[in-house]
Amino acid sequence: MLTLSHVSKTFNAGTINEKRALIDCNLHLVPGDFVTIIGGNGAGKSTLMNMVAGVYPIDAGTITLDGVNISQLSEPARAKYLGRVFQDPMMGTAADMQIVENLAMAKRRGKTRTLAWGVTRVEKDEYAERLRALGLGLEKRLTSKVGLLSGGQRQALTLLMATLTKPKLLLLDEHTAALDPKTAAKVLDLTEQIVAEHQLTTLMVTHNMNDAIRMGNRLIMMHEGRIIYDIAGDEKCSLTVKDLLQKFEEVSGGELANDRMLLS
Amino acid sequence: MGLAMLGAVSQGILWGIMVLGVFITYKLLDIADLTVDGSFALGGCVCAVLVVGGVNPIVAVLAAMLAGMVAGAVTGFLHTVFEIPAILAGILTQIGLWSINLRIMGKSNTPLLNFDTIFSQMTDLTGLPSNVAAIIVGVIVAVVIIVGLYWFFGTEIGSACRATGNNEAMVRALGVNTKVTKMIALTLSNGLVGLSGGLICESQKYADIGMGTGAIVIGLAAIVIGEVLWRVLPGAKLHAFGGRLSSAVVGSVVYFLIRAIVLQLGMDANDMKLLSAIIVALALCIPVVWEKFQLKRAYTRSLKDTSTEGASTEGGR
Per-residue pLDDT tens for B204-247? 999 999 999 989 999 999 998 898 888 777 655 555 788 889 99
A contacts of B161 (beta carbons < 8 Å)? none
Residues B163, A116: C-beta atoms closer than 8 Å? no
State the pLDDT confidence band at B249, using cuts at 50, 70 and 90.
very high
Residues A113, B157: C-beta atoms closer than 8 Å? yes
pLDDT tops 60 at residue B187: yes
Select from A77, A94, A117 the Cβ nearest to the Cβ of B154: A117
In terms of residue numbers, what domain contains B83? 2-212
Residues A94, B166: C-beta atoms closer than 8 Å? yes
List chain A domain ranges.
1-73+201-264
CATH fold label, A1-73+201-264: Rossmann fold (3.40.50)
B contacts of A161 (beta carbons < 8 Å)? 174
Whether the Cβ atoms of residue B183 and residue B57 lie closer than 8 Å to each other: no
State the pLDDT confidence band at B315, using cuts at 50, 70 and 90.
very low
State the pLDDT at residue B309: 62
More confident residue, A32 or B304: A32
Q: What is the mean pLDDT of residues B33-58?
A: 96
Whether the Cβ atoms of residue B153 and residue B161 lie closer than 8 Å to each other: yes
pTM of the model: 0.89
Q: Find how far residue B112's CA is from the centre of its chain.
A: 25
- Round to the nearest angstrom and report the end-to-end CA distance of chain A: 31
Q: How many domains does chain B have?
A: 1
Answer whether B178 touches A (CB < 8 Å). Answer: yes
Residue in chain B nearest A158 by alpha carbon:
B170
Q: Is position B51 within any domain? A: yes
Q: What is the mean pLDDT of residues B174-199?
A: 96
pLDDT tops 90 at residue B79: yes
Q: Is position B250 within any domain? A: no
Whether the Cβ atoms of residue A146 and residue A127 lie closer than 8 Å to each other: no
Q: What is the mean pLDDT of residues B302-307?
A: 81
Q: Chain B closest CA to A139's CA: distance in Å?
A: 20
Answer whether B173 touches A (CB < 8 Å). Answer: yes
State the pLDDT confidence band at B278, using cuts at 50, 70 and 90.
confident
Answer whether B238 touches A (CB < 8 Å). Answer: no
pLDDT tops 70 at residue B314: no
- How many beta-carbon contacts under 8 Å exist across A and B? 84
pLDDT tops 80 at residue B112: yes
Residues B156, A117: C-beta atoms closer than 8 Å? yes
Answer whether B27 touches A (CB < 8 Å). Answer: no
Residues A118, B155: C-beta atoms closer than 8 Å? yes
What is the ipTM score, two decimals?
Answer: 0.88
B contacts of A104 (beta carbons < 8 Å)? 159
pLDDT tops 50 at residue B317: no
Mean pLDDT by 10 residues, chain A (264 residues): 93 90 93 92 90 93 94 93 93 93 93 90 91 90 92 93 94 92 91 93 92 92 90 85 82 57 48
Three state DSSP letters for chain B: CHHHHHHHHHHHHHHHHHHHHHHHHHHHCCCCCCHHHHHHHHHHHHHHHHHHCCCCHHHHHHHHHHHHHHHHHHHHHHHHCCCCCHHHHHHHHHHHHHHHHHHHHCCCEEECCCCCCHHHHHHHHHCCCHHHHHHHHHHHHHHHHHHHHHHHCCEHHHHHHHHHHHCHHHHHHCCCCHHHHHHHHHHHHHHHHHHHHHHHHHHHCEEECCCCCCHHHHHHHHHHHHHHHHHHCCCCCCCCHHHHHHHHHHHHHHHHHHHHHHHHCCCCHHHHHHHHHHHHHHHHHHHHHHHHHHHHHHHHHHHHHHHHHHHHHHHHC
Angstrom distance (rounded) from CA B201 to CA B63:
13
State the pLDDT confidence band at B203, using cuts at 50, 70 and 90.
very high
Write down the mean pLDDT value for chain B: 90
A contacts of B167 (beta carbons < 8 Å)? 90-91, 93-95
State the pLDDT at residue A263: 44
